[in-house]
Amino acid sequence: MSQPKFELPIPAVKYCILSFPQPNILLVELNRAKELNCVNLEGHAELDAIWTWLDEEPSLVCGIITGKGRSFCAGADLKEWNSHNQGGKKRILPASGFGGLSRRNGRKPVIAAVNGICYGGGFEAAVNCDLLVASPKATFSLPEVKIGVVALAGALPRLIRTVGKPRAMEMALTGRAITAAEGMEWGLVNKIVGNGEDEVVKVAIDYAKMIAANSPDAVIVTREGVKMGWEGVGAEDATRQTADTWAARLHAGANMKEGVQSFVEKRKPRWTPARL
């Protein structure tokens, strides 16, 4: 497939491969297979720019992230971290957190296609994605306590809301890796599929296509409503805040009118890029 045309320039990449399974879907592949896709500081800035572009490029609706090789992401680049420690330098991540995802407060959904090792910051990033598809070979861990550091990229409070206190404590305090099957049982994983990177990405693309078939305006606002509830806002407050913030914009846009009209006319809707 030829590269689609975008209104905004595609970010320059060094540690990732960008592709477009269809013009409104972005696929990001971490491309440091020899380093198990550990992310260095330059890589964090690169990923932050990619997800910012996803949110700001009107024609894109959904993103997917996966890793090359046998690892999704094994966490921070500890060799770089050690070098900074020895030199007395501070490691500063973008405000959006590990890989631009773990503390991301973006507008558009991102799906994690976890093909293998998903540890530390990689797991923190995956926890904050909107859907998670996993290979049977995938494993998930917060091993920070084993090397004297703390998972401070956003996973701890989010994990407890996803899997509950006992399981969150087990992962965070023991550093034990859990299997894809356990992740599915615990509610971390949407689906386990196949045995390799290609299969797990294919299913993530299928999910992304289902999302991208819907109104891009409604996807943004619906995701915001769910996210506010997950982040601890009460049901009534979340509903009110979503309505107060987004309802007028949604009604003013073309896609709500198009969706209703297409239903009445018994035809497939013709969506336009989100301009909320």
> For residue range 135-145, what is the model confidence (pLDDT) as tens digits?
999 999 999 99
Active site residue 148: no
Catalytic residue among 67, 69, 75, 121: 121
DSSP class per residue in 99-148: GGTTT---SS-EEEEE-SEEEHHHHHHHHTSSEEEE-TT-EEE--GGGGT
- Secondary-structure class of domain 16-212 per CATH: alpha beta
DSSP code per residue over 25-84: EEEEEE--GGGTT-B-HHHHHHHHHHHHHHHH-TT--EEEEEESTTEEE--B-HHHHHHH
**Per-residue model confidence (pLDDT) at position 58:** 95
126: annotated active-site residue = no
Indicate the domain borders of the chain: 16-212, 216-264
Assess whether 144 carries a catalytic annotation: yes
What confidence score (pLDDT) does residue 197 get?
A: 67
Residue 123, CA distances (Å) to 5, 10, 110, 142, 152 in order:
32, 26, 14, 7, 12
> Pick the catalytic residue: 57, 124, 155, 168?
124
Q: Which residues of the chain carry a pLDDT beneath 70?
A: 1-2, 195-197, 234-236, 238-239
pLDDT of residue 243: 74
Q: Is 7 a catalytic residue?
A: no
**What pLDDT is attached to residue 1?**
55
Those residues whose C-beta lies under 8 Å from the C-beta of residue 123, and which sit 6 or more positions away, are 75, 140, 141, 142, 155
Q: Which of 29, 35, 57, 144 is catalytic?
A: 144
Instruction: Burial-class residue 74 by CB neighbours within 10 Å (0-12, 13-18, 19+).
Output: buried
- Return the pLDDT at 258: 85
Query: What would the pLDDT profile of 188-232 be if each residue is shown by its tens digit?
Result: 999 999 866 689 999 999 999 999 999 999 999 999 999 988 887
